[in-house]
Structure 1
């Protein structure tokens, strides 16, 4: 997908996204970039709460489903709700993978792999730059 071509909910232009997001968030969320492993804000976070889309604020993952996958990126075994995350076939970089996107604004989150823990067996491998943690009150 060409740089900045995602329009998501159709309400924001590319320039609006550039203004709303940090350069790193824009590169990841709108251009499909990836942060380096073990470098993102949330890869090793143990704080309880809900991880929201950094671009549009929709809840994407709960800390209750976060686990240490050893990959260097925040990993979850399930999304916050059945309709929070969309999937798309990704054949870039000579691989066949499943890209995960925010279902509301189509921001790139990362990829899902079939090597996660029970009960789903899935690993939603996400970029910290695409997330915003809202800590729970307890």
Structure 2
């Protein structure tokens, strides 16, 4: 697959910390309730930590109590890419940055989320940076 931002593995390793690389480039997961944005209420835009693409807005973030930042929709559908993930003996939908292909987390569907989309984008804090709104 071709992305707007393409780098070699060595370039990603140089740009990202070992923890960021493990999640963003190797589809790892940070431990629950440890990420910097899990409980953040700051208004702004969440961007991909690897390429700075705008991915989510704070007004779609909600408290899911799952241990990771949760959103009910991406900023726009063309900002993310979906892949089937059959790891760990289950079928899930992986969410990646459509601009650089970095792993963000997973999306889950269910009426119990109480969101306008009945979806929960469970995203690793380490995959994001928050750009606070001005004012």
Structure 1 gap ranges (5+): 1-5
Change over 3 Å in CA distance of 1:27–1:135 after alignment to 2: same
Distance between the aligned counterparts of 1:49 and 1:130, measured in 2?
Answer: 16
Q: How many residues align?
A: 133
Normalised by the size of structure 1, how large is the TM-score? Answer: 0.92
Distance between the aligned counterparts of 1:18 and 1:117, measured in 2?
Answer: 39
Contact 2:104–2:127 (CA under 8 A) maintained in structure 1: yes
Normalised by the size of structure 2, how large is the TM-score? Answer: 0.94
More helix by share: 2
* 1:27 aligned counterpart, secondary structure: helix
Please state if 1:123 is matched with 2:120: yes
**Residues 14-33 of structure 1, C-alpha deviations (whole Å, 9 max, x = no match):** 00000111111100000000
Structure 2 gap ranges (5+): none
Distance between the aligned counterparts of 2:5 and 2:63, measured in 1?
Answer: 35
